């Protein structure tokens, strides 16, 4: 399951990728993408730790992508913020399953998981068509 926090991270990176200045402040990102400002510092910190975002302080500072948007996959963003996106509860813990070891659902779940990761891995930030909430025309 993709969390709201991960969606905010995707939107924040999209905003940076589509800003004509190549950078933006956290306040600009929050306003343009309707992200609650209280969540953004933690998200930016996680994205910075993985190299997806660079920040600079002071006059003229702000946030910018850590690499080109064509190099950033949705899976990169998801992994940076929430870790591996698991579809089914039994993928987290097999200990509580009374149907093992003969459960055929696990094979189906594994194939579904692989398909999900393939889609996220092959989708680039540069390909996304998201909008801005505030109507800002910087892109």
User: pLDDT tens digit string along 127-138?
Assistant: 998 766 544 444
In contact, 1 and 89? CB cutoff 8 Å: no
What percentage of the chain has pLDDT greater than the value 90?
58
Nearest to 125 by CA among 78, 85, 86: 78
**Maximum separation of any 2 CA atoms in the chain, in Å:** 62
Return d(Cα 38, Cα 41) in angstroms, integer.
7
Instruction: Tell me what pLDDT residue 59 has.
Output: 78
Mean pLDDT of the region 117-133: 88
Return d(Cα 41, Cα 21) in angstroms, integer.
21
Instruction: State both tokens at 139.
Output: 């892109």
Q: Which helix (H) or strand (E) holds 65?
A: strand 62-65
pLDDT digits (tens, 9 = 90+) for 50-94: 999 999 887 777 999 999 999 999 999 999 999 988 877 666 665
pLDDT digits (tens, 9 = 90+) for 86-117: 877 666 665 566 666 677 777 788 889 899 99
Indicate the domain borders of the chain. Answer: 4-127
Return d(Cα 48, Cα 63) in angstroms, integer.
9
Instruction: State both tokens at 104.
Output: 């055929």
In contact, 61 and 55? CB cutoff 8 Å: yes
Tell me the fold of 4-127: Arc Repressor Mutant, subunit A (1.10.10)
Instruction: Tell me what pLDDT residue 96 has.
Output: 63
């Amino acid at each position: 399951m993709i969390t709201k926090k991960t969606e905010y991270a995707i939107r924040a990176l999209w905003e940076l990728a589509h800003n004509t200045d190549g950078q933006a402040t956290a306040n600009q990102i929050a306003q343009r993408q309707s992200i609650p400002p209280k969540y953004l510092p933690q998200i930016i910190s996680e994205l910075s730790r993985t190299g997806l975002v660079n920040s600079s302080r002071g006059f003229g500072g702000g946030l910018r992508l850590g690499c080109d948007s064509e190099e950033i996959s949705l899976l990169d963003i998801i992994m940076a913020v929430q870790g591996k996106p698991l579809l089914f509860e039994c993928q987290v813990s097999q200990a509580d399953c009374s149907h093992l070891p003969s459960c055929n659902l696990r094979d189906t779940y594994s194939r579904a998981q692989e398909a999900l990761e393939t889609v996220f891995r092959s989708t680039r930030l540069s390909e996304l068509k998201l909008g801005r909430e505030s109507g800002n025309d910087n892109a």
